[in-house]
Amino acid sequence: MILPLSFKTDSSVNPALYLCKLAQLHGYQDVRIMLKAYRLRLPQGQQNHLIGYSSIVKALTGQDIDYAAPAEFQYDSTRYFKSLVSNHLKVCPDCLECGSSPIEHNLVTSATCRVHSLKLLAECPQCNHELTFDRQLLTGSCSYCGHCLPRVSQNEPEYQKMLYDLRSDKRLDAIHDLALAAGYILRPYDCIPAQIKNEEISDWIGLFSKAFKLLTDKETLLNWGSEVFKQKQTRVKGLGVQASLAGIVFLDEHTMLDWPELKNARDYFSNTLTFKDGIFSGEKLLSEMPEETFVSKRGRHLKALNEEDIKSYFNYRITLEGLSMVSGIDLEVLEALYKNNTFKTIGAANNYSQNFVDLRDVSRIVTEVSEEVETFTHVLPDSMNLLIEKLMLVNLSMSQFWHFAFSHSNLVRIGEGSEKIIDRAYIDKPALMKFCFKTFTADTNGKLRKSVVMDIFGLSEFDLRELAKHDLLHPMPWNQRHTYYRIKHLINMENKLFCLGRYCELRGLDFQTTASQLESVGIHPVLGRSIFECRYQVLHFLKFNQWIEPKKRYLPPSNFTFLKGRDPRKALLLN
Ligand SMILES: [Zn+2]
Ligand SMILES: [Zn+2]
């Protein structure tokens, strides 16, 4: 199997060039014929393109050579362009004359030979035929028309210079960022650029030059942002400015290196709510790739959309993670809403955060609940945290909160505006608290932790001790890390007596003030500080400022049972 003549090569030399020289040495017309004679074939495809050459060279010459592109250019499934090794030949005429052709030239990002500062050629400038290694090319001329390959002086493009100037670990990140930005050059209106087949791209150099501009040039960024905003604002108005600019937000969030101009542009857009036409004069980059060039096929879910929406579907498709960035709602919450079918499901990924929603659909839902908010309280970040705590007390989650918000509920509304929706959320606090307590009392067999009981019912340690002493409320008897109370026991207790703490909690009243008001007319708690004997008496005073006789009196039990044959731990409560 091994060729009679051979000479040494190494992994820095393009294997195609080496094979070509071997073929010439053995008098074969070209490489293909030589390989055919040995029942071998040139490697196909892109991903394992170079690796394929290793076995051919091994078979023909017995040399073990590991051909590989620089690690940062090899296949990476997390990158927008998964493979960055070109399967087209690119040559530098001067390198060729020296009998070499570095593998590095075959990366899609390579435009200029760094040694000779010459333009790398992929096709003959005369006949436009793609170059391949053969006898003719070894002498520096096109094998189809015989045209002598010109030496075109060319400075390195900025992005290529940047890539080589970076340390190798940073280079990996820079390549990732360039590939992602290139995605927006190809699909500028997409929130997340849909994957394009590598072979659809003819001008990689131009693509990466533009991508570099998108990461570094202010005018270009502003131009892109304003164009995208103009096109999208009507369709996703309900979600605010951020949603129209989801692309910029996503790009900024997902770049690995710091690109100051990108950050500036994002900030600028976030703070500027209206755009004037024609204020940006930067180079226009916008030109969409046609739908056929996508890697992904049309899903069944698209059937529900009308013709016009299908065309722009990719422009509005966003992952839950992206939606979280533009709406300001936590990802976990969105995942729960997604599982709950609050949004329409679009496709399914292994990972929930990668599932898609249609921004237009979400915007529609938000617009439906954007109404008068005058009587509602604005949910400020501080009160949001408070709200979360309150919801947790009654086993409600933030996702339920947003589910109410998105389902025509009168508890939560989204105000109109261009900020993130989280900044436009308004709640009707009393209504929400009432709702919370309703769900809470529905679960009478449930149990609540002592700290939660104290919070919801406004009870102090002293109150709990007093209640236990009067045999009105005891903690649950088993021993766990926390002390628990049964909800039905709490409700029982409430039916017998009036709990001012919970009343204040529910109405948003200040407990101290209310209690001292009552005290001023001689209405005192019968137990602890929060437990009053008669609901009617207290409410009558609070409503009409009138003292009346209590309707029922509380008589403490004459015979306390708390020490008799009960769980001794309860006695501890008395200390
Ligand atoms: Zn060169
Ligand atoms: Zn030619």
Q: Mean of the pLDDT values across residues 399-420?
A: 79
C-alpha 95 – ligand 1 centre gap (Å): 4
Q: Which of 325, 348, 368 is the last residue of a domain?
A: 368
Task: Answer whether residue 532 is part of any domain.
Answer: yes
Asked whether 486 and 445 are in contact (CB, 8 A), the reply is yes
Residue 260's pLDDT band, with cuts at 50, 70 and 90, is: very high
String of DSSP letters for 432-443: HHHHHHHHHHH-
What percent of the chain clears pLDDT 90, i.e. is strictly above it?
A: 7
Q: Output the pLDDT for position 225.
A: 86
String of DSSP letters for 286-339: --PPPGGGBSSPPPGGGGGS-HHHHHTHHHHEEEHHHHHHHH---HHHHHHHHH
Q: Does 457 lie in the same domain as 434?
A: no
C-alpha 123 – ligand 2 centre gap (Å): 8
pLDDT(177) > 90: yes
**What would the pLDDT profile of 140-162 be if each residue is shown by its tens digit?**
888 888 889 899 998 888 999 89
Task: Answer whether residue 147 is part of any domain.
Answer: no
Measured CA to CA in angstroms, residue 445 lies from 322, 438, 464, 485, 486 at distances of 40, 14, 20, 10, 7
**What would the pLDDT profile of 297-347 be if each residue is shown by its tens digit?**
556 666 677 777 777 888 888 888 889 988 888 888 888 888 888 877 666
User: 499 has which bridge partners?
Assistant: 531
C-alpha 361 – ligand 1 centre gap (Å): 54
pLDDT(239) > 70: yes
Q: Does 186 lie in the same domain as 78?
A: no
Q: Mean of the pLDDT values across residues 276-293?
A: 58
Q: Is 501 exposed, middle or buried (0-12, 13-18, 19+ CB in 10 A)?
A: buried
C-alpha 127 – ligand 2 centre gap (Å): 4
Please report where in the chains the tokens 């002086």 appear, as a residue.
153
Q: Which ligand approaches the C-alpha of residue 112 most closely?
A: 1
C-alpha 132 – ligand 1 centre gap (Å): 17
With a CB cutoff of 8 Å and minimum separation 6, the contacts of 568 are none
Task: Answer whether residue 288 is part of any domain.
Answer: no
Q: Mean of the pLDDT values across residues 272-291?
A: 57
Choice among 428-442, 446-460, 520-534 with the minimum mean pLDDT: 428-442
Choice among 42-51, 248-257, 262-271 with the minimum mean pLDDT: 42-51
C-alpha 214 – ligand 1 centre gap (Å): 29
C-alpha 152 – ligand 1 centre gap (Å): 11
Q: Does 65 lie in the same domain as 121?
A: yes
d(CA 205, CA 525): 81
Asked whether 436 and 523 are in contact (CB, 8 A), the reply is no
DSSP β-ladder status, 112-113 and 425-427: unpaired
d(CA 106, CA 425): 53
Closest CA to 521 of 537, 500, 498: 537
At residue 427, the 3 state secondary structure works out as strand
Residue 46's pLDDT band, with cuts at 50, 70 and 90, is: low
Q: Does 527 lie in the same domain as 509?
A: yes
Q: Which ligand approaches the C-alpha of residue 124 most closely?
A: 2
Choice among 16-25, 169-178, 441-450, 481-490 with the minimum mean pLDDT: 441-450
pTM of the model: 0.73
C-alpha 140 – ligand 2 centre gap (Å): 11
Closest CA to 286 of 249, 247, 233, 253: 247
Q: Does 254 lie in the same domain as 355?
A: no
Q: What is the dihedral of CA 43, 44, 49, 51, to 10 degrees?
A: -40
Q: Does 22 lie in the same domain as 122?
A: yes
Supply 369's token pair.
Answer: 């609940």
**What is the domain range of residue 128?**
15-138
Q: Does 80 lie in the same domain as 42?
A: yes
Q: Output the pLDDT for position 137.
A: 85
Question: Crossing angle of helices 49-61/15-25, nearest 10°?
Answer: 30
User: 412 has which bridge partners?
Assistant: 427
Q: Does 477 lie in the same domain as 392?
A: no
Q: Does 562 lie in the same domain as 466?
A: yes
Instruction: Count the domains in the chain.
Output: 5
Q: Mean of the pLDDT values across residues 57-82?
A: 83
What percent of the chain clears pLDDT 70, i.e. is strictly above it?
A: 83
Q: What's the chain's average pLDDT?
A: 81
C-alpha 108 – ligand 2 centre gap (Å): 22
Please report where in the chains the tokens 């605010």 appear, as a residue.
240
Q: Does 560 lie in the same domain as 461?
A: yes
At residue 85, the 3 state secondary structure works out as strand
Task: Answer whether residue 127 is part of any domain.
Answer: yes
Task: Answer whether residue 146 is part of any domain.
Answer: no
Closest CA to 426 of 385, 382, 370: 370
C-alpha 227 – ligand 1 centre gap (Å): 41
User: DSSP state, 73?
Assistant: G
Q: Output the pLDDT for position 574.
A: 43
Task: Answer whether residue 70 is part of any domain.
Answer: yes
Q: Which ligand approaches the C-alpha of residue 100 most closely?
A: 1
At residue 113, the 3 state secondary structure works out as strand
Q: Mean of the pLDDT values across residues 356-376?
A: 80
CA angle 454, 457, 459 (to 5 degrees): 50
Q: Output the pLDDT for position 575.
A: 35
At residue 426, the 3 state secondary structure works out as strand
Q: Does 542 lie in the same domain as 500?
A: yes
Q: Does 529 lie in the same domain as 406?
A: no
Query: Which is more confidently placed, 277 or 380?
Result: 380
C-alpha 160 – ligand 2 centre gap (Å): 27
C-alpha 144 – ligand 1 centre gap (Å): 22
User: DSSP state, 284?
Assistant: P
Task: Answer whether residue 2 is part of any domain.
Answer: no
Task: Answer whether residue 312 is part of any domain.
Answer: no
